[in-house]
Structure 1
Amino acid sequence: MDIENTTPALVLESVVKEHAAGPSRVAAVRDASLHIARGEIVVVCGESGAGKSSLLQVAGCLQSPTRGAVYVDGCDVAGLGVNGSADLRRRRIGFVFQEYNLMSALTARENVALPLELDGVRRADRQAHAALQEVGIADLAGRFPEEMSGGQRQRVAIARALIGPRRLVIADEPTGALDSASSRVVRETLVERARQHGAGVLVGTHDREWLSVADRVLEMSDGVLSHATRGPE
């Protein structure tokens, strides 16, 4: 894979994320540092409550760290402000969640095209159709989320996450509610995006099948991110 831009997709430097718990504060993420190159797939495993979701939300600029620094595609998130962070999320970061987060009043094509339309991109519907074709459900472009299965809705969510020049894809339990066939499609699609399009991919999951496609596997326990190990050859 030839990636001209060697800027890392994601850099976390000594990130701490604390949440209020009554009069005290609880650290969900403790001094986490992480570097993800473009084209690299990193999988974070851990039990529920280990801090995976908090880590991914900070990495994806959905939450601000209590301390530490976050860089996405070379941009220091702390210096962007609220509007700049929103623009960064919309243009450079793709999100895939177990809950799909699709808009029920929009068709599959409209859900996928929405990030581009918000930026005034011409022919966003054509790009949306191509993205749906990439995940194998172009024939469902005119359906609403309630008219699709869970696996089909997740494919729509992935198409939306991958449309446009995304540099980083964050996936939080993307296959947790899917059958084995749909899970395989999700994994293959994200691997393709990393390998062929040069996006960094960060996955938080209980699904051990992800270990077979990861470049690195990390463990998270009590908010502590372990040293990285290579994925299976």
Structure 2
Amino acid sequence: MSDLSDPTTPKPLPQHIAIIMDGNRRWAKKRFMPAALGHAAGAKRVRDIVRACAHKGVPHLSLFAFSTENWRRPEEEVSSLMGLFMTYLQQEVNDMNANGVRLRLVGDRSRFSTAMQELMHRAEAQTAGNSHITLTVCANYGGRWDMVQAAQAWQKANPGQDLQSLTEEALASHLSTADAPEVDLLIRTGGESRISNFMLWQAAYAEMYFTDDLWPDFSAERLQQAMDWYVLRDRRFGSSAPL
């Protein structure tokens, strides 16, 4: 086991970074722009952060793009977000594929249009063989929804078994992110200090990093600051001594 107190010992990188991308609307409002332009600026920032994570050797990045609660926003804004999401998938998937990015889209797809669902399926299929970094985009996603659907999936896979036989490991294997490690570092931009129903199970032992930077301003340099903060954390996972 490496000695983390030794400054010459390489510090472990987070294997899974999850980001709540908050602040697009406020970024636009500060510039007297419509909210749609703030969301567009945020979408452009995604490319920079994916590339930065891949360059730094982070194998898993998850982004909270659209929550189950976001349907409550004004209809015009929701429609704009859906259009932006479709445009993003159409324009970025070839670049992702060329750069070894595996794209996964998790969440309840039933509320999306048929065209959107088909586009999501094609984007995942096109990048399925890539292994440089896995980008998980959470759309119409909620942590509570994920746990409920995991329990339902377990019950379907184990008909007739009593609920008492359900274990943490069994439930985790049916989560929408079951093929990814648990979240090591959860970042929220925009100045809020809550996780807003995002990856409640997966982030049980995540280090929480909150920044006032609005998402369109969250640069690769800001990401590095968060990672520098992370490696200084004393991650004990419930034990009484540093690992």
Q: TM-score range by the shorter chain?
A: 0.3 to 0.5
Q: Give me the TM-score of the superposition, normalised by structure 1.
A: 0.34
Structure (1 or 2) with the greater strand fraction: 1
Q: Which has the higher helix share?
A: 2
TM-score normalised to structure 2 length: 0.33
